[in-house]
Chains A and B, each alone.
Chain A
Amino acid sequence: MATNENSLVALSDAMAEAVEKVGAATVTVDARRRFPASGILYSNDLVLTADHVVEREEDIQIFLPAGGEATASIAGRDPGSDLALLRLSRSASQTAEMSQVDPRVGQLVLAVARPTAEGIQASLGIISAIGGPIRTGRGVRLERYISTDAVPYPGFSGGPLIDASGRVIGMNTSGLTRGASIAIPVSQVRLAVESLLQHGKIRRGYLGVRSQPVELPVNGMEALGRAQTSGLLIVGIEPDGPASASGLMVGDILVGIDGDPISDHDELLSRLSGSLVGAQTQVEILRGGKPVSVPVTVGERS
């Protein structure tokens, strides 16, 4: 009996320690009129937080875990993925330790926050699901997200979701999915941060076409010579857009871009990012049942 009680006490203390550990790298982000939110010390002078809690560009105050405060400026932000990177006016001593392991459904997790100067706060749950890709309410494709039953209290957005060892597995936010809180996995955060630091935003490409998914005609499939059953039928072309300039026409069926097959909108959205933005690439279409390669300069979505 004593062993069982000891293991529960040990678990309980371990959770409090994990909270304390990440707490040393969890800050208060005061960048809006109503109650402040939380942020994660990503590096000595960079705070990761949720874009939707940053409602002003001036007078952003960060309250540090050890006490004391610093002002911050926006280093980069992306409303589409609800991520923002703030640069501190002075260095912080502690940074958050990120998990190097993939999250798993069923793992014990803690959502940690510091919405007030009163101290760290936490909420317990498990990883209920690892989902994605989904299209967010902001029209952006979210590759992966973590769903948990840890209760998201006010001010928890921008704070870390940690595993039992106190390492960060994601950033909590309630701004992306209506009425629910999810965590953006560290793997996604890392990719976004690269772009945010380089360009101050995340560059998203666009072609300027209206399209709908269709099943490929039999002769088209044969002509393509690969096992692809669907593509995107172009039903409208934006005047003065990249597609219009390239000679793509209504009736063409998009089946590939930059050497990769495309079967639906999500795949297209996913490919139109990163290095392809602003670059010239080959768009593969079926025109009259025959495969044609059209060079297109991918535009950048503003």
Chain B
Amino acid sequence: MELLTNLAHAFQEVGEKVQSSLVVVQGHRHGAGAGMIWRKDGMILTNAHVVNHRSPLVYLSDGRKYTARVLAHEPEIDMALLKIEADDLPAMSCAKKGSVKVGQFVFAVGHPWGQKGYITKGIVSALTSAQTRNSDRQLPIIRTDAALAPGNSGGPLVNAAGEAIGINTMIVGGDQGVAISVEVADEFVRRALEKAGVSEKTV
């Protein structure tokens, strides 16, 4: 009984931790998507398809609202990097490369069907790759049985320690939930910052 109670509390704690790094991204007139605080100085990661506007609005979990700049936008891998003028934000931590295994517990956090900060649970069902739209490129993806719906896009898929292992996306179809591996996001952000001439701050 105690084990189950401990686990239930652990679920709760991971949920709270991740929700604080979750944002709402309003890049279209209708509907909003999810995003995560990638760096504490205001870098926000989300899906490219969530951002249509030159100045999308970003809402933090504590209600603060910002107008963001789009630093990078790559529809081919469905990622976008935004910048808001804020600091000391609770950034998402990422899982160590190669640590993701089939069978591990995962949580998806986002805003499915407009429900803010909604958490679903599941496991890593498979580690595979998928071809993205409009290109021959194969991306490493994580398939999960955690329920995902429109509004989850751009939000994180996290492991039992609350570290991001993927970005939930709807660009690959099927009835299974799909997240693009966080390693792709890592590379994307690095490329984007190099291009923008913004050097990575050593923290």
A5 B14 Cβ-Cβ under 8 A: yes
Q: When A16-B103, A19-B103 are in contact, do A11 and B7 touch as well, CB less than 8 Å?
A: yes
Question: Given the complex, which residues of A lie within 8 Å of B59, measured CB to CB?
Answer: none
Residues of B within 8 A of A (CB): 3, 6-7, 9-11, 13-14, 101-105, 122-128, 143, 145, 159-162, 176
Contacting residues, chain B, for A1 (C-beta < 8 A): 13
Name the distance in Å between B174's Cβ and chain A's nearest Cβ: 9
Say yes or no: B128 contacts A15, CB within 8 Å: no
Provide a sorted-by-A list of 13 A–B residue pairs whose CB atoms are within 8 angstroms: A5-B160, A5-B162, A8-B11, A9-B160, A11-B160, A13-B160, A16-B101, A19-B103, A23-B102, A119-B128, A123-B123, A151-B145, A153-B125
Q: Which residues of A contact B6 (CB under 8 A)?
A: 3-4, 7
Neighbouring B residues of A5 by C-beta, 8 Å:
10, 13-14, 160-162
Is B145 within 8 A of A123, CB to CB? yes
Contact A124 B10 (CB under 8 A): no
Tally of contacts, chain A with chain B, CB under 8 A: 86
Q: Which residues of chain A in 1-57 are interfacial with respect to chain B, using CB atoms and an 8 Å cutoff? A: 1, 3-5, 7-9, 11-13, 15-20, 23
Assembled-state Cα–Cα distance A280/B192 (Å): 83
A contact set with B: CB distance below 8 Å: 1, 3-5, 7-9, 11-13, 15-20, 23, 110, 118-124, 150-151, 153
Q: Binding site of A, secondary structure by majority: helix, strand, loop or mixed? A: helix
User: A7 contacts B7, CB within 8 Å?
Assistant: yes
- Given A19-B102, A119-B128, A124-B122, answer yes or no on A12-B176 (Cβ-Cβ < 8 Å): no
B108 to chain A, nearest CB (A): 14
Q: Given that A8-B10, A8-B14, A121-B125 are contacting pairs, would A153 and B103 also be in contact in the complex, using a CB cutoff of 8 Å? A: no
A12 and B7 contact, CB distance less than 8 A: no
A122 in contact with B123 (CB, 8 Å): yes
B104 and A16 form a contact (CB under 8 A): yes
Least Cβ–Cβ distance between B138 and chain A, in angstroms: 12
Which B residues are CB-close (under 8 A) to A15? 103-105, 123
Would you call A118 and B9 a contact (CB within 8 A)? no
